[in-house]
Amino acid sequence: MLWTVHKRAMDLRGFRISMYEKQQKLCKEFKDPNWYKAKNKVGQVGFIPANYVKKREGVKAGTKLSLMPWFHGKITREQAERLLYPPETGLFLVRESTNYPGDYTLCVSCEGKVEHYRIIYKDSKLTIDEEAYFDNLMQLVEHYTNDADGLCTRLMKPKLMEGTVAAQDEFSRSGWTLKMKDLTLLQTIGRGEFGDVMLGDYRGSKVAVKCIKNDATAQAFVAEALVMTQLRHKNLVQLLGVIVEDKSSLFIVTEFMAKGSLVDYLRSRGRSVLGGECLLKFSLDVSEGMEYLEANNFVHRDLAARNVLVSEDNIAKVSDFGLTKEASATQDTGKLPVKWTAPEALREKLFSTKSDVWSFGILLWEIYSFGRVPYPRIALKDVVPRVERGYKMDAPDGCPAIVYELMKQCWHLDPNQRPSFRKLREQLEHIKAKELYQ
């Protein structure tokens, strides 16, 4: 079970060790359910009252979360009016404009009838009256929720799209929301699919912050955060929380991985710095994280060295869960990286743990080639045809034959013939044990 410690609990850092020992002894003797074990910023371990912590839960798999549950997409004016019946002043929804493609329409019930306000998309901004401008629909709705500002009424009650749950409410209920006032953004450290990735400070600790700034990527933000609430493993980058209170920006806050992506780490250090023991450790770290996903029925779908991060103490952790889904979900193949994706996933959209295993074989090749791009000297358009005819990359220079055999097992054209991540982890542990005794 995950726990988030309230600020009062962090103030215990001033307590003397003797006080911790006394509390620890008390809890052990009486097994008091009103106390929980905790560690403060300087590493001291002790016990804190149960009312200082809040229980965290993974957001239930299959929950359809939306940051804009009042957005109904492509519906007509008549359908909107039916949804807002019976009349209730302040009841509203937003839909795509049918008369002006690219614009939106705000539909508001007011004094027994429905008013339709065109939302104009102009110069990358949204506006109703060309006086107040907004970066996204969430900002616009928040503004008119606080003040009618020319509308027939203030927006009072959203008409939720059937089957959706407000993401803000669900993240708060399950204990994953953080406060913006506790976060300081320091500097940009990268760019991701959804926006900038920044180094931040959250209550004195370094964190990584994904910043999402527009409607187009807002729902993808929710999907990634939802997956991350359900995952907890030492070789997966850990979600610390989400911030959805500031409508100008949305944030996913994760642990900070000081040494960056594995591919950059391999390329910048190279053969002269990284020995075989280190390469094997990275391989084993990733296999353990992927074994956990396998056991919990999640498919990553974008496993590659660029999506593995390295911590200050050289632990490799799988990251970037933007495409991760339950094994039964389907996936558009438009954004998938050809050189890392299994043939059946590219050809038939068949994703499974076994397609992740194929990608793991490519990742092993990246590790032992110190970050080279796979399929060197082969044009991208020729990769898939050659692979489907049975082509396999040669072993990287200096790669142990036993590790290369693992790669080839991962690249079996029949997914059923590929090993499981559990088997891969066991084989890597066996290789490690043999090296220790040589």
- How far apart are the C-alpha atoms of 104 and 83, rounded to whole Å? 17
Cis peptide before 33 (omega within 30 of 0): no
302 is catalytic: yes
Tokens found for residue 434: 């043999």
Q: Of these residues, 215, 285, 302, 320, which one is catalytic?
A: 302
54 annotated among ligand-binding-site residues: no
β-pairing, 2-5 with 53-56?
antiparallel
Inter-CA distances, 112 with 85, 88, 91, 109, 145, Å:
9, 7, 11, 7, 19
CA dihedral 414, 399, 336, 240 (to 10 degrees): 110
Inter-CA distances, 242 with 167, 190, 247, Å:
10, 19, 13
Annotated binding site: 210
Residues marked active site are found at 302
Annotated binding site for ATP: 210
